[in-house]
Amino acid sequence: MDRKIAYWVATAAAFVAGAFAFFIAINLTVNQLRLKSADPLNSPALEALRGELRGEPRNESLKTEIRELDLLARKAYFSSLTFSNAGAWLLLGSLIITLSALKIAAGISKRGPRPGKYEQKDESLEFARQARESLLATLAIMAIVVLFVLLLSEKPVDFSSAETDEPLGRSEARTAELQERMHLNWPAFRGHNGVGVAHYTNVPVAWNGKTGENVLWKKPVPRRGFSSPIVWDKKLFLTCADEEAREVLCYDAVSGEMLWRREVGVVPGMPPELPDVSEDTTYAAATAATDGRFIFAIFGTGNIVCFDFEGEKQWVRHLVDVENIYGHASSLITYRDLLFVQFDDSTEGRVFALDTASGDTVWLARRELEPCWSSPIIADAERGPQLVVAGNPFLMAYDPASGEKLWEYECLGGEVASSPAFADGMVFSANEYAALTALKLAQPIKLAWEAFGELPDVSSPLATGERLFLATGYGTLGCYDSASGELLWNLEFDEGFYSSPILVGDRVYLMDREGVMHIFRNADEYEQIATCELGEAATSIPAIMDGRIYIRGVKSLFCIGE
């Protein structure tokens, strides 16, 4: 081929590929800015319908309309993400073609020195060289702009799971069915919604771990941890960890047989060295959670993992680098198809909402708070569910679906480890060196009362409707009137409490740090029913199921039942 023709072919190819790259870059930038500025999953139309549903919670046709619109929004969002991924590869390919064609053109245009005293400058070649340099500079600037926009944007949620062969609405129906079954199980720290109220009441009031009385089975736990057991139907899940491995364990809840044991392993993005944790925290302080389909576990390394009920890993992420003097201890909780993670450390406060199927971030709320070890709860408020999280200095609530901050109230201080409590439209928070605060969930939020005195440092309060129970690490137990804040009674015990009180019918179960369970009436006066020894120290929350209590000690896992 003639050199001149080859040169112009290469130059034309470079300009065509460059123009295509410019077009793709512009579209990627616009698409990314659109996703960042207007979240299609929380459109005004959806928010308006959700607002109507809060006023008409039993309107089934409104629920169906919300589900269909939500599914369409998810599909649109998924299409935008697919375009972003494909566009990035097209941009890279176009840049490679452009640079290659320019290099070929430059090679063809090179000429050796001509004889003679003077050498005439070829103006057309000089113009072509300048054009090539201008094009390269433009493409480089566009690539930098696109990368800058992509890096500044939040990690998008991946709704690829919505692209399935399932008929419209089946996945939503399955989610709703599992949500209805939550209260029948023990799916998270302090049970359903994280508020410490058991569905079943037919559980023992007498056992002895030393003699074996009413101990149906006892199994050793292979590694350390202070996380509590969770149970769904006939499967029990537990986490344990040390410097060598972080693990999720699955037991048969009936027989105690270990069904499977899975290590998290090395997760891309995690630091080469493990963060420091205290002896009172360990790498497995946070309790796992389940939505009835998957098990989610987070560790003191900042890694979060999802397994199905058969032990197959679904996804794993290094969520954040842990900067915390004690280590991470905030437990997980789910609502519908979202998993919530509270991660308040020395760098900043964060609340993540992750897609349960993919692990991608649906929304992220950043908060300027001190380190915190509290766990979130779901408050079933009259106007709809609220994700309530404690921190220093604010108690806050978010819309679980959108991440919109609903309210905040400054009432906490110190090293906040105690989680909030909720009952009958009221939220309670308490922490040592702060106050016991009762808030009425109104618009705006309303302070009902405050009290000061002996407040918990680790244990979380229990709200039963009429009363509020508080236990401290140095052994005091107090009961307050929920409506007025009046202290009804206060007792001192020989051992302190890290575990939290649990309501089982008209009884309250509270385990001290030596593993002794104190069972007493939910009443205006202290009425002891029984004290039961586990036989080893314990700080976990018992899981209450049909006729059985599951308790993790420092070394063993116990099943209590008659």
Question: For 38-60, how does the pLDDT look when each residue is reduced to its tens digit (9 = 90+)?
Answer: 444 455 675 666 566 555 655 66
Question: What's the CATH number of domain 185-561, 3.40.1350.10, 3.20.20.100, 3.40.50.10470, 2.130.10.10?
Answer: 2.130.10.10
Give, in order, the Cα–Cα distances in Å from 115 to each of 67, 119, 120, 556: 80, 8, 11, 93
pLDDT score of 27 more than 90: no
pLDDT-derived band of residue 241, with 50, 70 and 90 as boundaries? Answer: very high
Report the mean per-residue pLDDT for the chain. 84
Lowest-confidence region among 175-179, 183-187, 475-479, 541-545: 175-179
pLDDT-derived band of residue 201, with 50, 70 and 90 as boundaries? Answer: very high
Reported as half-sphere exposure (CB side, CA atoms, 13 A), residue 82 has a value of 11
Query: Which pLDDT tens digit goes with each residue over 415-461?
Result: 899 999 999 999 999 999 899 999 999 888 999 999 998 999 999 99
Is the model more confident about 323 or about 171? 323
- Per-residue model confidence (pLDDT) at position 169: 40
Spatial distance between the Cα atoms of 171 and 274, rounded to a whole number of angstroms = 38
pLDDT score of 189 more than 80: yes
- Which of 134, 126, 125 has the alpha carbon at shortest distance from 22? 134
The mean pLDDT value for 403-413 works out to 95
pLDDT score of 327 more than 70: yes
The mean pLDDT value for 265-291 works out to 91
Sign of the alpha-carbon dihedral angle for 206, 534, 500, 398: negative
Spatial distance between the Cα atoms of 60 and 204, rounded to a whole number of angstroms = 40
Spatial CB neighbours of 269, under 8 Å, sequence gap ≥ 6: 317, 318
Lowest-confidence region among 162-171, 201-210, 395-404: 162-171
Per the CB < 8 A criterion, the answer to whether 285 and 298 are in contact is no
- Per-residue model confidence (pLDDT) at position 517: 98
Lowest-confidence region among 26-30, 51-55, 413-417, 545-549: 51-55
Spatial distance between the Cα atoms of 510 and 202, rounded to a whole number of angstroms = 17
- Which of 154, 172, 61 has the alpha carbon at shortest distance from 403? 154
pLDDT score of 341 more than 60: yes
Domain range annotation of the chain: 3-111+122-162, 185-561
Is 0.75 topped by the overall pTM?
Answer: no
Spatial distance between the Cα atoms of 481 and 465, rounded to a whole number of angstroms = 9
- Residue 536, amino acid: E
| Residue 137: other Cβ atoms inside 10 A | 10
